[in-house]
Amino acid sequence: MGISDIMSLSVWPVLSVVVFAAGVFYLYSLILRHLAKTTVRNKVVLITDSLSTLGNECAKLFHTGGARLILCGNNWEKLETLAERLMSESDPTLTFPPKLVELDFSNMESVPEIISEILECYGCLDVLVFNTSMKVKAPVHSLSLQMDRIVMDVNYFGPVTLVKGVLPSLISRRTGHILLVNSIQGKLTVPFRATYAASKHAVQAFFECLRAEVQEYGITVSTVNHTFIKTPDTNSKDEDSAKPKRTHLKAKSFGVNADEMATEILKTLSSKKKEILMSRSFFPKAALYARSLFPNLFFSIMAAGVRNTAAVEMSED
């Protein structure tokens, strides 16, 4: 027996193990995917901002999964268009027509009435997905208190008011899953986003406290923190070429696709995992560790970033 024959005999067991392991992993993935799809079947699922890129993906995924959707958004015509598209792209024998509710957290006076409307849709709620968000980027001294209040209404007081309004119903049924889609800036601050980060820190803290308080009632609270969600590119080639290279690098490195995010949300509802961090890069996670373990270094890096930004803006002028 030659050396080549001996090598062939030694390789085959290894290949067999690899193929077997790959097969087991594939079957396990299929089972998890099936379980995830059945998670929302016949469940009453509320999405607070169905008109956003992520909201659209969640609505499509949950609708095909057989959920009884309550789609919220600040534009009635766009909600109707979304509902019509969902129904036209699905099997009506396996899905339910979505209920529509016009919701705008920037108008807090209307929220109590809207809560009653939401509860009247099906008489109960099983899953709440809070994905409403308002972004603002500017130096602290240039933002008015009025803008601060609007951002806090949309990102904090709106979700808090809604969850308080439906909480008695969830507690009485002793079941439910509340999921907050939140920015990584709910855990990590970035210069020029003080108001946004403050609102995200506030809502993160609220839902983490809520998690402990409602666990005894069989209610799960999950938070999904992401870097930023990629949106469909509608710019021309000329507009894209005019963008700074660092913007393209950031979008490619750190951005999370909306469909991946929606799938992760569905998996979280199935596994009932308490906390998820979504990022395509290790850097955001490393920044979180650096903030906790080496705060002075972290603050120095942030300050250096501010100085570099100021220098770039001056050179562009």
CA 229/CA 41 separation, integer angstroms: 26
Give me the half-sphere count of Cα atoms (radius 13 Å) on the Cβ side of residue 125.
Answer: 29
Per the annotation, the verdict on 196 as an active-site residue is: yes
Radius of gyration of the chain (CA): 23
CA 51/CA 55 separation, integer angstroms: 6
Q: What is the helix (H) or strand (E) element at residue 311, kind and residue range?
A: helix 295-316
Q: Coil, strand or helix: which one is 125?
A: coil
First-last CA distance in the chain? 77
Backbone angles phi, psi at 102, to 5 degrees: -80, 120
Full strand arrangement of the beta sheet holding 99-102: 99-102, 68-73, 44-47, 127-130, 176-183, 219-226, 275-278
Write the DSSP assignment of 133-201 as a string of letters.
-------GGGS-HHHHHHHHIIIIIHHHHHHHHHHHHHHHHT-EEEEEEEEGGGTS--TT-HHHHHHHH
CA 190/CA 303 separation, integer angstroms: 10
Tokens 């067991």, located at residue: 13
Q: How many C-beta neighbours within 10 Å does residue 72 have? A: 27
Which one of 26, 122, 196, 217 is the catalytic residue?
196
By C-alpha distance, which of 180, 182, 181, 178 is closest to 198?
Answer: 182
HEC profile of 80-112: HHHHHHHHHCCCCCCCCCCEEEECCCCCHHHHH
Task: Give the catalytic positions in this structure.
Answer: 196
